Amino acid sequence: MARTGRKKPGLRVLVWLGVLLAALTAVLAGGTVAGQASWAPKLALDLEGGTQMILAPKVEGGSDINEQQLNQAVAIIRQRVDGSGVSEAEISTQSGRNVVVSLPGTPSAETRNLIQASADMNFRPVLLNGDAAAVPPESQTPEDQLPKPTAEPANSSDTNWITPEIYKQFEALDCNNTPEKSQRSDPTKPLVTCEPATDKSPAIKYILGPVEVKGTNIVTSSFQLQQGAQGAVTNDWAVNIQFDAEGTAKFKDVTQRLNQFYVAAGGESGTDPKSQFAIVLDDQVISAPRSLAVITDGRPQITGGFTEQTAKALSDQLKFGALPISFDIQSEQQISATLGGEQLRMGLLAGLIGLLLVVVYSLFQYRALGFVTIASLVVAGALTYLAIAILGWTENYRLSLAGVAGIIVAIGQTADSFIVYFERIRDELREGRGLVSAVENGWKRAKRTVLASKAVNLLAALVLYFVAVGNVRGFAFTLGLTAIADLIVVFMFTHPTLQLLARTRFFGEGHKFSGLDPERLGAVPLYRGAGRVRTPEDKPVVVRTKNTGAAAEAERRMTIAERRLAEKQEQLAGSAKTSAKEDK
């Protein structure tokens, strides 16, 4: 049998697929060694269990909460949770009064604080700051030396806001021991509060002036790597804020005043706290940047020692902080995943049964060629598994029971791609081509069908993902992910593997166990791919291999339809001869 083309066609593609798998494995291994990732995918609430929090909302001013406010609370809490990277969370109302938030696993302190955080976000100028520890009573400032207001405060940065009572409260405050949460502060009066400690800075306590800009004036916020003076991107993270028209005008006036304190203190070498503008959420300082310039466009940028995680956390707090309702965690309990775990076991059992049926059918229908299907499914499974595990680490994606269902459904869709390809090759062999040529021509015909099929799958998954909510999105996500993995495997494994196998004696000469036996090529399979099944009208087409010369070449070039027409003509001719003999 003549063989043309490259000596090792497809080998380079297989090498690149190996590089891709090795790279994904190395990324996941690196995250696991660093203690940030795990070899096992993260599981959603229905499979792992988690934490259920019942939040009791409080409306500003003490009025009763209405249905519209509660629905708005649910929508914004969902935004906060999704923005923090927690997937497959369940958020609902209870008895028209409370909000129930169920999160997979154990939520971090940042996630818990983000959910609980009230809408009382505002911007206050800093009047005074100091160490977090409380001043011992014997060391506190004597009564006659306490600061005394000399006049009515001219603005929110005026130190005349610091009364003796405010200063005593400031000295007695201990930020190292979390103070009990009191009632919401009066936005028209000064506030004594803390900025909690972080990995890079200790806790700080402040005396803040009255509110000057409200959180409701924030349109949006984002975080990004900071740009240097020449426009080059640095390794420092920054948080960007965008105010509405009212907030832009107010923020311009405030930064104009604060920048004067900054310049008077000597710029970067200065330490005047009155150049700082505190961002306050739920009466607690989350950041207190200095005003380095007058911001006229309402788009300030906060810099200074952020990591990607801390920049994202601050951006989320600013973006979703304008909720008109505050929340208290009324109860918190761990919830079990016993039901989800049982369903997972049943789902995995169904998946194994389906996989086994695909394997049995492939081996029965395609003999040794069926092992290519099995190997392709293994590679597709490895790609999908690594992708889900890495997404769980980087994007906090969690695999739900619906997602498992999407993977199980994809087994049949993946096998269907291989069947379409194999049948195209067998069609080419029926037309008389050699196996090497049949693989290439069959691939040209099959890949159009495979691409069209996967395009439909991806489109359906995208529509379902963006239209649906809750667990249905998990199903759509894994359905789309496996479709992409299927395309990678068909293009980078199945076709290159067949290019190599076509040049072996076992497959190239049509061994009876290869699945390419000439004596069986005329048989129409029970399942022909793309949803087509064999009908009673599909009669076997016998491939004649003993003819020689021009007749054999002409037969090899005949299409299936032409062969069937010739067979019908032969049958009619045979019937005519039989009738003629009977007449005689």
Instruction: Quick: pLDDT tens for 416-432.
Output: 888 889 888 888 887 77
Say how many C-beta atoms besides its own lie within 10 A of residue 234's C-beta.
12
Identify the pLDDT of residue 549.
Answer: 42
Structure token digits, residue 448: 């159009």
Per-residue pLDDT tens over the stretch 126-140: 999 999 898 998 889
- Residue 25: its pLDDT value, please? 95
Cβ neighbours, 10 Å, residue 129: 20
Mean pLDDT score, 161-166: 93
Domain positions in the chain: 11-37+337-533, 120-330, 549-583
The confidence score (pLDDT) of residue 345 equals 78
Report whether 325 contacts 119 (CB < 8 A): yes
DSSP string covering 325-346, please?
EEEEEEEEEEE--HHHHHHHHH
Residues contacting 530, CB < 8 A, separation 6+: 416, 420, 449, 453
pLDDT at 534: 60
For a pLDDT cut of 70, what percent of the chain falls above it? 79
pLDDT grade, residue 555 (50/70/90)? Answer: low
Name the strands in the sheet holding 218-227, side by side, starting at the edge strand that comes first in the sequence. Answer: 218-227, 233-243, 301-306
7, pLDDT greater than 60: no
How would residue 308 be classed by pLDDT, with cut points 50, 70 and 90? confident
Inform me whether the pLDDT recorded for 285 exceeds 80: yes
Find residue 94's DSSP bridge partners: 98
Q: Which of residues 114 and 413 earns the better pLDDT score?
A: 413
The closest alpha carbon to 219, from 251, 243, 245, belongs to: 243
| pTM as predicted | 0.59
3-state secondary structure 485-528: HHHHHHHHHHHHHHHHHCCCHHHHCCCCCCCCCHHHCCCCCCEE
Looking at the DSSP assignment, which residues form a beta bridge with residue 207? 128, 192
Rounded Cα distance, 371 and 491, in Å: 17
Domain 120-330 class, CATH top level:
alpha beta
CA 432 – CA 581 distance, rounded (Å):
36
Class for the domain spanning 11-37+337-533 = mainly alpha
The answer to whether the Cα torsion of 434, 14, 392, 238 is positive or negative is negative
How far is C-alpha 380 from the geometric centre of its chain's CA atoms?
A: 19
Closest CA to 478 of 410, 546, 572: 410
pLDDT-derived band at 206 (thresholds 50, 70, 90) equals very high
Query: Token pair 């914004």 is at which residue?
Result: 76
